[in-house]
Amino acid sequence: MPATRTRRHRPKGPTTSRPLASNATATAKVSLPAPAPAPPAVPASGPVAAPSAPSARDETHFSVRRFADAPISEASKKGIKHECMSDVQAATLECALAGLDLLVQAKTGTGKTLAFLLPAVERLVKMKDLASRKISMLVLSPTRELALQIEEEAQTLIANHPLRVAHAIGGTNMSATGKRIMENPPRILIATPGRLVDHFENTPNFVHLFSDLRVIVYDEADRLLDQGFKKELDKILGFLPDRTKVQRQALLFSATVSQEIKVVAKGALAQKYKFISTLRDDEVNTHEHVPQQSIIVPFAKHLAATFAFLQQDRLLHNGASKVMIFLPTARLVGFYYEALSQLPRGTLPPIYEIHSRKSQPARIKAADAFKDAREGVLISSDVTARGMDFPGVTLIIQPGLPANAEQYIHRLGRTARAGAGGRGMIILDEAEAFFLRDRTISGLGITPVPSAATAGSYRLDASLLAAASATTDALVARVSAETKAQAYRAFLGFYNSSLRALRWTRDDLVAHGGHFAAEALGWAGPQLPEIDKKTVGKMGLKGVRGLNIVVSEPRPPRGVPRQPRN
């Protein structure tokens, strides 16, 4: 049984751990030479091979219908920047303007936001019987970031209308938001379900603002269910006025239409709702036409492989490289960001980070900067995996095991949007290679990364990986002990939920965690990073040897604030 002590300070030094054998896999992998010591200085770059450029953007998701010819007001036309409607906008406009309830299936990145905003705004400005100081339109969003993106697009559209839009989302001061909304109710409210329920239950008289609600929109409905918001969605309907007394239009937009979506539609939409799909018979989803590659390297080389692919993508796109890196945990996002941010200026495009542990203003700032940038690298957890629209993303890199096949596909959907080109790359340890044999994943046409130069493909061999490792090893040496300790604990927590798939025991998990700390995080002291005794118990690791267990001192009375809901 490992010794237990009381924690009084942050960890100062790292440790080593024995390497472990991994299960063999049938996919291609890189054979590594013996590791060389990290150089004292960080080199600007290593040898890189650039692949051929992918095909240019096409306009396959735009129709020939012009907004100028649409039956909408001049005020709305002034707020629309495009000349022609997208397919989903053209297919839904008349039905939505007529007040019909709609279930709309459309691919991501095809203009769904304007497809529900435009007809709703048109209907609201024509209604003569709207109650004053009431919310007339409610949009439910699965994430804070998507909610703010919808609000931004709404502000542009209604710039010449006597309407106002506001948001109610997690990560913001609830009482201040509630007070602001109550004092000056917006006509349109964009909200995340958890925070909206919080207001209904805790902000006095908040529910009365919805007594004349005329339009409700469920955006990214499949994602709302993925996030576990079914209970909140049911509660929200209970707070809204009876549709037999206040006529209300409901619009439900989703990239997929599963049985669960149909259940939500049955409760939210009118009995005779109209189903519209803009997916053509000859059209495949994003994940089925984006070129995808995989590479099997040890956990310790994931950062180096990522760095090598970042360099190749930058050479390929010549000033227009936009890469999103999706990592399993928020703490690993912080580790990658801290490491790569120490590169000399100009080695890579500007680097940004977004994850659940960043403040909402910081997340908004990073998202806006990456969205507007011509080139950049966004390191993210899954908070940006769905709904967020970042134009021009050229490559998606996924180092480490995705939570499931669906999440892999959602992440991949951030590239090749609205007919643009893009690629996907997944980097796995041998123990994670089972993911490529998943029934869904194995059908996506993922090919191994070649070691030799191939037209239109990235490449990686032992020499390229060793050169990249020389750079990243020096970067890792400069990352703070606190960041490394947090990433280590997050590794244990994340992979603890996949022991059966990994074919690991809990002893294997702890041993692999030690190996990860030493080799991937550069932790090289007498003991592993500390882990709280309560956390060990929650993970089911009590009694497992190899952990540096501590007992946290009691928190001060004011403690950590309640985690806000989305």
Q: What are phi and psi of 363, to 5 degrees?
A: -65, -40
Residue pair 444/292 in contact by the 8 Å Cβ criterion = yes
Give the whole-angstrom CA distance, residue 328 versus residue 513: 14
- pLDDT, position 287: 63
Residue pair 206/178 in contact by the 8 Å Cβ criterion = yes
Give the whole-angstrom CA distance, residue 359 versus residue 345: 26
Number of Cβ within 10 Å of residue 534's Cβ equals: 11
Give the whole-angstrom CA distance, residue 421 versus residue 393: 8
- pLDDT, position 406: 81
Residue pair 164/124 in contact by the 8 Å Cβ criterion = no
Q: What is the DSSP letter of 67?
A: G
- pLDDT, position 489: 97
Cα-based angle 477, 480, 481 (whole degrees, multiple of 5):
95
- pLDDT, position 13: 40
- pLDDT, position 286: 63
Helices and strands (H, E) in the chain, number of each type: 19, 19
- pLDDT, position 566: 52
| Length, in residues, of the chain | 566
Among residues 251, 249, 250, 253, which one has the least CA distance to residue 277? 253
CA distances from 117 to 96, 143, 167, 251 (A): 10, 18, 15, 10
Q: What is the DSSP letter of 102?
A: E
- pLDDT, position 61: 64
Residue pair 212/131 in contact by the 8 Å Cβ criterion = yes
Residue pair 185/168 in contact by the 8 Å Cβ criterion = no
Sheet holding 249-254, edge to edge: 165-168, 188-191, 137-140, 215-218, 249-254, 102-105, 274-277
- pLDDT, position 260: 85
* DSSP track, 255-301: S---HHHHHHHHHHS-TT-EEEE---TT---HHHHS-EEEEE--GGG
Alpha helices in 448-480 (DSSP H): 462-477
Residue pair 4/505 in contact by the 8 Å Cβ criterion = no
Tokens linked to 110: 């095809």
What are the residue ranges in the chain where pLDDT is below 70?
1-61, 280-288, 385-387, 417-419, 453-457, 553-566
**233 contacts: CB under 8 Å, gap ≥ 6:** 140, 193, 218, 224, 264, 268
Query: The pTM is what?
Result: 0.60
Tokens linked to 30: 């890189």
* DSSP track, 176-244: HHHHHHHHS--SEEEE-HHHHHHHHHHSTTGGGGGTT--EEEETTHHHHHHTT-HHHHHHHHHHSPPTT
Tokens linked to 298: 């040890």
Tokens linked to 21: 């054998």
